Amino acid sequence: MAIRLYALGESQEMATAADEVSVTRAFDFDHPAPSIEGIRARLAATPDFEAPGGNRPSAISVLLNMLEQRDRRAAEHAFRVAELASMLGIRLRLAPVEVARLRLAALLHDVGKLSLPDDVLEKPGPLTDEEWQRVRNHPEYAFQMIASSVHPVVAETVLKHCERIDGKGYPHGDSGEEIPVASRILLVADAYDAMLSPRPYRMPFTIGEAIANLQEGAGSQFDAAVVAALVETADELGWAAA
């Protein structure tokens, strides 16, 4: 499935009839670790969907540089999540500007973890209650870091990307429709990529295992429609057979 966005101001009918414009390549599971240079190049090629004169590109570049210096894997994870979230947003028929903002939120969703010490992020065993609370605060840390530099919708998407449909997420315990659709999409894309990535305490999941876990959590942890969109995308692109 190609990642496609249309020019601002186009109606749904115009967008459907118009030639589609690719702004990123499809999420490519054969290349799970794109280079930071590739991230920057593709970000630079993305049309600016915010008001002229905004400081979004420079703010993103600074935060991506910080992520790269702190943890290259975290920056690469952010890029992959942005790609997959964009695909899901398009499949779920978000408006073009909504997909653009979702992609930006996905790039920035974990910048709050820059405030966490390495011994917490890379801890091979269970976290203490205090350590876990610091991790649970990372969406709020990210919100504080980006709120003055991005559209409010982007900031809210990042703030609520760890909230669960059943209200058992964090930082505020929002549930159901209280959680923006973009945040629900971002949670699924984030969880999927996280499961496919190795951690100090476990090996990476297979694609089949990751999808099964998402399906098990559909309707409680995850939005069932978003999970269904990911399953459809995986089937369409043959990821499970890769």
Give helix then strand counts, H and E, for the chain: 12, 2
Domain holding 25, by residue range, is: 21-43+57-241
Tell me the two tokens of residue 80. Answer: 């992959």
* 49 within a domain of the structure (yes/no): no
Q: Per the structure, how many domains does the chain have?
A: 1
* 2 within a domain of the structure (yes/no): no
- Chain centre distance of CA 87: 11
**Cα separation, 160 vs 173, whole angstroms:** 9
Cβ atoms of residues 109 and 158 within 8 Å: yes
**Count of CB atoms within 10 A of residue 7's CB?**
12
Q: Domain of 102: which CATH number? A: 1.10.3210.10
* 5 within a domain of the structure (yes/no): no
pTM beyond cutoff 0.85 = no
Tell me the two tokens of residue 166. Answer: 């059943």
* 124 within a domain of the structure (yes/no): yes
Local confidence pLDDT in tens for the 242 residues of the chain: 332 222 223 333 333 333 333 333 333 434 444 455 655 565 555 544 444 444 455 666 777 777 777 877 888 888 889 989 999 999 999 998 999 899 989 989 999 988 888 888 777 778 888 888 888 899 999 999 888 888 899 999 999 999 999 999 999 999 999 999 999 999 999 999 999 988 767 788 999 999 999 999 999 999 999 999 999 999 998 887 55
* 177 within a domain of the structure (yes/no): yes
* 117 within a domain of the structure (yes/no): yes
